[in-house]
Structure 1
Amino acid sequence: MKPVRTLILAACVGASLATVAGCSVIRGQESVSSYADDASITAEVKAKLIDSKAVDGGAVNVQTMHGEVALSGFAKSTTERDRAGQ
């Protein structure tokens, strides 16, 4: 009976550690507010790209880390690429 109890205890500890690790802030952010600020910037940039007539906003991925925006994706021309970066 004792090995079963030890096995159950080990499983519970493992599940607890996995849960705690899942609650940590992701992507190397130092705080939840920093993550929220980056998400807000990403949403604002993505909205401007989608509203733009000069850029296919659906073809551009936007990622923000520590306030720095990175764009990736495909542009039909160098002009469209340059417009996306403005």
Structure 2
Amino acid sequence: MKQPGKYLSAVILAVALLTAGGCASTAKQEGTGEYVDDTVITTKVKAAILNDPVLKVAEINVETFKGVVQLSGFVSTRVMMDKAVAVTRAVGGVKSVKNDMRIK
């Protein structure tokens, strides 16, 4: 006697494995959990920059990918640039900082 439930279970398992594989991260693409983590890091870095009296007026853009924060935009002085990098490094979850800021 054939057991239809056995084949159905195998099909469901195969579909589940294929679907789960679609959520995994790759070198150029984040998984769902990583995206949420990076969004939280980006928000924390932006808040830290805005809460710093020296950096509040700077035009700094923040992007995060797999814990690596990229700072871009413009600052007035080298001191502001260094301060922005230091503030960013102090945020929890930041693995490294890529500085693409320019002095205007």
TM range (shorter): 0.5 to 0.7
Which structure 2 residues correspond to residues 24-63 of structure 1 after superposition, within 5 A?
Answer: 28-29=29-30, 31-56=31-56, 59-63=59-63
1:85 alignment partner, SS class: helix
Q: Distance in 2 between matches of 1:74 and 1:61?
A: 9
Higher strand share: 2
Question: Does the alignment pair 1:68 with 2:68?
Answer: yes
1:28 alignment partner, SS class: coil
Q: Distance in 1 between matches of 2:51 and 2:36?
A: 23
Higher helix share: 1
Q: Distance in 2 between matches of 1:55 and 1:77?
A: 10
Structure 2 length-normalised TM: 0.53
Q: Distance in 2 between matches of 1:76 and 1:65?
A: 26
Per-residue CA deviation, residues 13-59 of structure 1 (Å, 9 max, x unaligned), is xxxxxxxxxxx89x611x11110000000000000000110113651
Q: Distance in 2 between matches of 1:41 and 1:63?
A: 9
Give structure 1 stretches of 5+ with no counterpart: 1-23
Structure 1 length-normalised TM: 0.64
Structure-1 residue corresponding to 2:99:
none
Number of residue equivalences: 61
Q: Distance in 2 between matches of 1:37 and 1:51?
A: 21
Q: Which amino acid aligns with 1:77?
A: T
Q: Distance in 1 between matches of 2:57 and 2:34?
A: 25
Please, what is the CA RMSD of the aligned residues?
A: 2.0
Aligned 8 A contact 1:56 1:75 in 2: no
Structure-1 residue corresponding to 2:89:
none
1:53 alignment partner, SS class: coil
* Higher mean C-alpha displacement, 51-60 vs 64-73: 51-60
